[in-house]
Amino acid sequence: MQSADNQTLKIISSIILVQGGVLLYWIITSDNFFGSIGFATLSNVGILSWGIAALVVISYVWGAASISNVREHMFKFNNLKYLALLGALVSGFFEEILFRKILMDYLQEEGFSDFLQIIISGIAFGTAHLVWGGKALSAAINATLYTFFLGSGLALIYIMSDRNLALCIIAHIIVTGLIEPGLIKSAVLNKLGYLKERI
């Protein structure tokens, strides 16, 4: 069991280093990083957008909680969880900037409808999480499908909040903070299967 924790620790550390490095570059090279992603105007976001964000978070976390490792680590505070919380912070910013702000704003400039922006963002987000399949094709398909729905939900929040990325970042951080490191550990242990946990 300890080796699974060590592998999980290494994976989370790698994510933090890679995504954190790019994120740090974006922060350093931006004139108004936090202002440009919507934290300054977060109070202007309507109640409907907050409600959709809450629904996306609750739905995804509830689904992920069907996996025993996710339940085990959801509120278990130890060094692995603390690192996972740092990872949630980094990936919340990095992935929302990449898959919502950069990708969806580009698609908007190219004339894509809001609906297509949501679908394409969801597909890109799901495909990027294909790697969580680990050793099994069924797990890879599951990871891609579920993160497609999460990515599409976050994209809907981005559209509904008048492209305020801060709300997406907050929702993403909460989801990842709750389900990690359990989800990564389940992938390491090859416990993710088609629509249910592999015994």
Residue 108, domain member (yes or no): yes
Residue 199, domain member (yes or no): no
SS3 of residue 50 by DSSP: helix
d(CA 120, CA 80): 33
Residue 35, domain member (yes or no): yes
SS3 for 91-157 is HHHHHHHHHHHHHHHHHHHCCCCHHHHHHHHHHHHHHHCHHHHCCCHHHHHHHHHHHHHHHHHHHHH
At residue 138, the pLDDT reads 73
Residue 85, domain member (yes or no): yes
Residue 97, domain member (yes or no): yes
Residue 197, domain member (yes or no): no
Rounded to 5 degrees, φ, ψ at 192 are -95, 125
Residue-range definition of the domain harbouring residue 150: 2-188
Whether the per-residue pLDDT at 192 is higher than 80: the answer is no
Residue 95, domain member (yes or no): yes
At residue 195, the pLDDT reads 59
Beta-carbon count within 10 A of 1 CB = 7
Residue 195, domain member (yes or no): no
91-150 pLDDT, tens per residue? 999 999 999 999 999 999 999 999 999 999 999 999 998 877 666 677 778 888 899 999
Q: Domain tally for the chain? A: 1
Q: What is the mean pLDDT of the chain?
A: 92
Whether the per-residue pLDDT at 12 is higher than 80: the answer is yes
